Amino acid sequence: MRISEIQDKMNTGASSSRALVDSYLERISQYDKSGPAINAVIELNPEALALADALDNERQVRGPRGPLHGIPIFIKDNIDTADSMSTTAGSLALTGSIALQDAFLVERLREAGAVILGKTNLSEWANMRSNRSTSGWSSRGGLTLNPYALDRNPSGSSSGSAAAVAADFCAAAIGTETDGSIVSPASANSVVGLKPSLGLISRSGIIPIAPSQDTAGPLTRTVEDAAIMLSAIVGPDPRDPITQSGSIKAPTDYTQFLDKKGLEGARIGVARNFFGTHQAVDHMIDSAIRQMKQLGAEIIDPANILTRGQFRDSELEVFLYELKHNLNKYLAALGPEVAVHSLKELIEFNEKNKETVMPFFGQEALLLAESKGPLSETKYQEALEKNQLLSRDEGIDATLKEHGLEAIVAPTSGLPFLTDLINGDSGRGGCSSPAAVAGYPHITVPAGYVFGLPVGLSFFGGAFQEPALLKVAYAFEQAVQVWHPPRFKATADPEAKWIRN
């Protein structure tokens, strides 16, 4: 059910926030820790029912605050909440870490009337611990499963947030992305994922990886819900100067851009050089492109990102430098009840507790980050400059300008791969890097299913072009109506090769 439909039921008295929380808690009990045991939830909020009751009372006295009043949502476990819940990035090293202040986006969600139902599991340290990690696994939370095929990976690092939305454990969730960590799990779990422009959402209170790319964003059932969630969490934050730039003029309501006819006359470019990972996925995305053309879009094919793959090494270099610098700042500010207060201490903790922390893969990425120097080093500065030149000026911006495009489309990723704790991830394909490195917006929507496995279609564009992307993504979603709920099957269905609805 869409957020607006839930809100209508509460406004008419047919439901309540308390009833919603009770219903979600029952479903979580049935499917998350037992039954198929999706394991998307790392911690439930013991205050959720009390919060729901208070918001129900407020609705009766004053009316709803807005579209999120009383709506239960999950927050990824690398986002600070100043309540009884921990914020650990899935790491046993941060056990008992209670934030003293909400992340700014959490403040915004509380002000909007959302009920924080709990925290979701993730790939530990947002998948920046090892080069042989398994997405969806953390030492604190264990392994999250894909509700569409339990042996398939939910992708990371916002694994739990995407799986929780797909499995109907909440109305919506918040994930974070440095490169692919919102859009890839969204695609793998057949939900909508929106990675906003860098600077639109405050980074304060989010455990950092690489702030030159880090951002939070919504994972939802529909594009409309993503627009509602985005509207709630944007805004300038004194703790994050990048959000106060005069060039950022964030709308207060992104739902105003939703238009069922939004593809009429829209110039859409096809980044053909992101195809070729899987024949059936290509077939499905080509079918989606034909449907967009039938809906009035002008398709430019190809409209390739010519710098694709040219900034892979420099992106990693930036990750490692920024991880050390910013994680040290975050850890140093934690209280004495936490075991580690620096990256060096984290590495030592992991080594001392390797049987429980590193039973499947190591911490090579953390070791490489610890070896880096300060951000003033020329090597870091040159890598960051290269990233921005190749992803922005000579990448997305160049493609948009050359062809006069509103958006670029591509397969979000390949099919969900088999989870393998011994060998690590084996996923192929993915178009997340240009928008992630550039700090530009990217939205993925369900495009169909191959062998019963979800396929996502990506739309990405220029800086702060969320309105244009929401418009075309919504028009596509509303026209094709391909989504179906997960059936918690043990594995993929070879008889469902071309299922679209």
The per-residue pLDDT for range 36-88, each reduced to its tens digit, is: 999 999 999 999 999 999 999 999 999 999 999 999 999 999 999 999 999 99
Torsion 423-428-431-437 (CA) sign:
positive
- Collect all residues with Cβ–Cβ distance below 8 Å to 495 and sequence separation of at least 6: none
The whole-angstrom distance between residue 191's C-alpha and the CA centroid of its chain comes to 10
pLDDT tier, 496 (very low <50, low <70, confident <90, very high otherwise): confident
* Dist. CA 396–CA 413, nearest whole Å: 18
> Which of 155, 158, 161, 181 is labelled catalytic?
181
CA 499 – CA 501 distance, rounded (Å): 6
What mean pLDDT is predicted for residues 264-283? Answer: 97
Catalytic residue among 157, 184, 212, 432: 157
Does 76 qualify as catalytic in the annotation? Answer: yes
pLDDT of 497 above 70? no
Mean pLDDT of 345-358: 98
Dist. CA 110–CA 116, nearest whole Å: 8
How much is the pLDDT for 246? 64
- Active-site annotation holds for 287: no
* pLDDT at residue 494 tops 90: no
Q: Which residue has the tokens 């394909």?
A: 429
Instruction: Give the pLDDT of residue 470.
Output: 98
CB 399 within 8 A of CB 303: yes
> CA dihedral defined by 462, 464, 465, 471, rounded to 10 degrees?
150
Tens-place pLDDT, residues 378-421: 999 999 999 999 999 999 999 999 999 999 999 999 999 999 99
Catalytic residue (choose from 17, 76, 161, 204): 76
pLDDT band at 247 (very low <50, low <70, confident <90, very high): low
Q: Is the dihedral of CA 275, 277, 282, 284 positive or negative?
A: negative
* Residue type at position 336: P
CA–CA separation, 89 vs 86, rounded Å? 9
Check whether 343 has a pLDDT greater than 80: yes
How high is the pLDDT of residue 248?
A: 77
Stretch 177-195: mean pLDDT: 98
What is the band of 24 on the pLDDT scale with cuts at 50, 70, 90?
very high
What pLDDT sits at residue 501?
35
| Domains of the chain listed by start with CATH number | 3-480 (3.90.1300.10)
